[in-house]
Amino acid sequence: MTKGAQFTVSERWRARLGAQWLSRPARVGPDDVTRHLLAVQAQDPRGFRLAIRSRTAGLGAADVDAALTERRSLVVSWLNRGTLQLVAGPDYWWLHPLTTPQLATGNRRRLRQEGVNAAQAARGIDAVREAVAGGQQQTRGQLRDLLDEAGVPTKGQALVHVLLAATLEGLVVRGPVVGAEQAFVDPAHWLGRAPAPLDRDDGLARLALRYLGGHGPATAADLAKWAGIPLGDARRGLDAVGGETSTTLDGLVDLAGRDRAPRPPVVRMLGAFDPLLLGWADRDGVLVAHRQVVTTNGLFRPVVLVDGRAVATWGLPGGTVTVDLLDEVPPSVRPSLDAEASDVLRFLGLPERPMIQRHG
């Protein structure tokens, strides 16, 4: 591991914008972006599609759906931090055993809290296994009905935690788009036979290297928080790839030889739960004083970036891109914001409408 100079805060975040593919849109596909970032938080269906848009040029949401449904190259599953993540099919096989075993205890506790006893949970897992056997696709509503028939509680959050239990056992992932949601499928049938498993040290090394590809420069604490693994494991992974990385005087690790050329100003509209706000232990370099972008109940609101900093939040009420400014922005930025708003509508297949800009 080679040593380098110390980054200033702005240099650190400019480098991360480049690593995130946010400095310039690339003419690549949804699979390329997802593999590069390794995992994209996906509990917000529009949000994870918009994460692809903000890093590419010319794609539409239908291209993401095609990867999920026709090519079977992307799936969504509970992985890092116990949250839903969009990942490439081959990465699911090694991320699942690396990031989910530690979730089982919490899952059993939540099942009990939701009124699902051990026998009911086991019956529910069996029902889910049988429902997706032989390549069958099941929506959430269909699985709810099957579990109700099997006498498994589904009210409140019980359904979610029964489905999580089946997911942790490797029985289901979310695959094809059916209507407005993703159906649950058997990963072995949907993705093909699982490859030979990695031992944990090899998995941690792969995790560290792939994480740095889309998030460097970063620290072991950043990796631990992003992946939901112990800090000691994050350090082991980074140590294992030390020959392929460099470190700064203040302990930031990155891929060795990464281009550090100055990046152009960034004007981007990011969706909810964008990877830029979830990739590190500290996001103050992006949010600055606007911590309300992340709400007290854990929602990460869509934001507008200007030169790498959040200057506004935005939404789509009535199909109109509406921007709520948090900071004053120069008039010269307006054309870029208009272009971004138009591209959001194009990507989502919505009619062109003028953007509304409001002052907070």
Quick one: pLDDT at residue 91? 98
Is pLDDT at 311 greater than 90 in this prediction? yes
For residues 116-132, average pLDDT: 98
3-state secondary structure of 205: helix
Could you read off the pLDDT of 332-357 as tens digits, one per residue? 999 999 999 999 999 999 999 999 99
Kindly tell me the number of DSSP H helices and DSSP E strands found in the chain: 15, 13
Percent of the chain with pLDDT over 90: 88
CA dihedral 265, 286, 48, 280 (to 10 degrees): 120
Quick one: pLDDT at residue 10? 82
Quick one: pLDDT at residue 249? 80
Which residue do the tokens 């509680």 mark? 153
DSSP state of 159: H
For residue 262, whether the previous peptide bond is cis, meaning omega lies within 30 degrees of 0, is no
74 Cβ partners below 8 Å, 6+ apart? Answer: 30, 31, 34, 64, 67, 68, 86, 87, 88, 89
Quick one: pLDDT at residue 138? 98
pTM above 0.85, yes or no: yes
Sequence letter at residue 89:
G
Is pLDDT at 104 greater than 80 in this prediction? yes
If pLDDT is split at 50, 70 and 90, which confidence band does 1 have?
very low
If pLDDT is split at 50, 70 and 90, which confidence band does 3 have?
low
If pLDDT is split at 50, 70 and 90, which confidence band does 6 have?
low
Q: Distance between alpha carbon 205 and the CA centroid of its chain, in Å?
A: 20
Q: Which of 200, 199, 221, 196 is nearest to 211 (CA)?
A: 221
Could you read off the pLDDT of 145-201 as tens digits, one per residue? 999 999 999 999 999 999 999 999 999 999 999 999 999 999 999 999 999 999 999
Q: How far is CA 82 from CA 66, 79, 101, 164, 320, in A?
A: 26, 5, 10, 9, 33
